[in-house]
Amino acid sequence: MIGVRGLYFAYDKGKDFIRDISFEVRQGEIFGFLGPSGAGKSTLQKILSGILRNYRGNIRVLDTEIKHRSESFYENIGMVFEFPNLYGKFTALENLLFFSSLYENRAPDPMLLLERVGLAGDMHKKVNDYSKGMKMRLAFVRAILHQPSLLFLDEPTSGLDPGYARIIKELILEQKKEGRTIILTTHNMHDAEELCDRVAFIVDGQVRALDTPHALRAGKRDVEVSYTYRSGEQEEAGLAVLSALHRDKEFMGRLNAGLLTGIHSKEHSLEDVFIELTGRCLK
Ligand SMILES: Nc1ncnc2c1ncn2[C@@H]1O[C@H](COP(=O)(O)OP(=O)(O)OP(=O)(O)O)[C@@H](O)[C@H]1O
Ligand SMILES: [Mg+2]
């Protein structure tokens, strides 16, 4: 679906910001760019979607070298930008009807989508009078309106309350079920884990790791288990290693003697792994 080989890109001539990035995105997967602010996630999205064109290296998207894309290329692409680009003087419905008119493929009914994202009651309001979250929701509807086969979503839940963030995440998963391929940019490890089939860790314009969220977490050092147990009149705490619990004489002795009062495994979060592999936090 997407093939990137030896990608370099500079905003300032001679000073490469994106350096030597290569990866592939498979048809039908949700592929995440996870990284802190300023890492280069939006830059990458803009290069892959053909907006920033003076890159070096090879990028094939939908079998087209992105530099040589034609106008019809965008028939198959939907995008949510970091800062929603909608016509402020138009109402929400006018925006959707206008953007829809640019494409051959039309949504069966934009109203259904507006209802899903809770904007049906505000569809005749000018977008200038929308809140940031309302604009994000409208921008999402706009991106999927023409049923593109490839979606680029840059922080699609940013500025949304948890209820609407959930609805957008459900819509993203529905898009995947319908066979679409999705590139999702985020600095939220929960979104990355919940939505992405594979995740690329992005720091300083480079990919530092790339795998499924599960494999990234499993590749970490052993998971620790903390537990509490009765010791006479007291309750004491113990620590063990999950993969060696069966060989841990102290733990097994307390377990077999029925002394355990609590047990808790301390799984590593994707953020723990991110910090260990990149030396950087996600925030
Ligand atoms: N138009 C531009 N001209 C020059 N530098 C830019 C431009 N856009 C972005 N940059 C720089 O490129 C770097 C990466 O920015 P980018 O927007 O890709 O980061 P990001 O990972 O999307 O961050 P965030 O999570 O804050 O959205 C930053 O140092 C930024 O200042
Ligand atoms: Mg960004």
pLDDT per position as a tens digit, 56-101: 999 999 888 998 888 888 999 999 998 888 999 999 999 999 988 8
Pocket flag, ligand 1, residue 17 (CB < 6 Å): yes
Q: What is the pLDDT of residue 220?
A: 66
Protein residue whose Cα sits closest to atom 8 of ligand 1: 43
SS3 content of the chain, % helix, strand, coil (to 5): 35, 30, 35
Q: What are phi and psi of 19, to 5 degrees?
A: -130, 120
Q: Which pLDDT belongs to residue 199?
A: 97
Taking the CB of residue 145, how many other CB atoms lie within 10 A of it? 21
11 lines ligand 1 (CB under 6 A): yes
Question: Which of 60, 70, 86 has its CA nearest to residue 142?
Answer: 86
Question: Which among 74, 76, 270 has a CA at the least distance from the CA of 186?
Answer: 270
Instruction: Collect residues with CB below 5 Å from ion ligand 2.
Output: 41-42, 82
pLDDT recorded at residue 105: 80
DSSP reduced 3-state for 80: strand
Distance (angstroms) between ligand 1 centre and the Cα of 5 equals 21
The architecture (CATH level 2) of 2-217 comes to: 3-Layer(aba) Sandwich (3.40)
Amino acid letter, 251: F
Q: Which residue puts its alpha carbon closest to atom 30 of ligand 1?
A: 38
User: Ligand 1 within 6 A of 42 CB?
Assistant: yes
pLDDT of residue 110: 87
Give the Å distance between the CA of 219 and the centre of ligand 1. 30
Q: Whose CA is nearest to atom 29 of ligand 1?
A: 38
**Looking at ligand 1, which residue's alpha carbon is closest to its atom 7?**
11
Amino acid making up residue 276 = E
Quote the pLDDT of residue 157: 93
Give residue 222's pLDDT.
81
Q: Is 83 in the pocket of ligand 1 (CB under 6 A)?
A: no
C-alpha 204 to ligand 1 mean position (Å): 10
- Give yes or no for a contact between 181 and 150, defined as CB atoms under 8 angstroms apart: yes
Sketch the domain layout of the chain as residue ranges. Answer: 2-217, 221-267
Give the single-character DSSP code of 29: -
pTM for the full model? 0.88
| pLDDT beneath 50, residues of the chain | none
For residue 102, the model assigns a pLDDT of 87
Say yes or no: CB of residue 205 within 6 Å of ligand 1.
Answer: no
Q: Tell me, using a 6 A CB cutoff, whether residue 40 lines ligand 1.
A: yes
| 113 CA to centre of ligand 1 in angstroms | 31
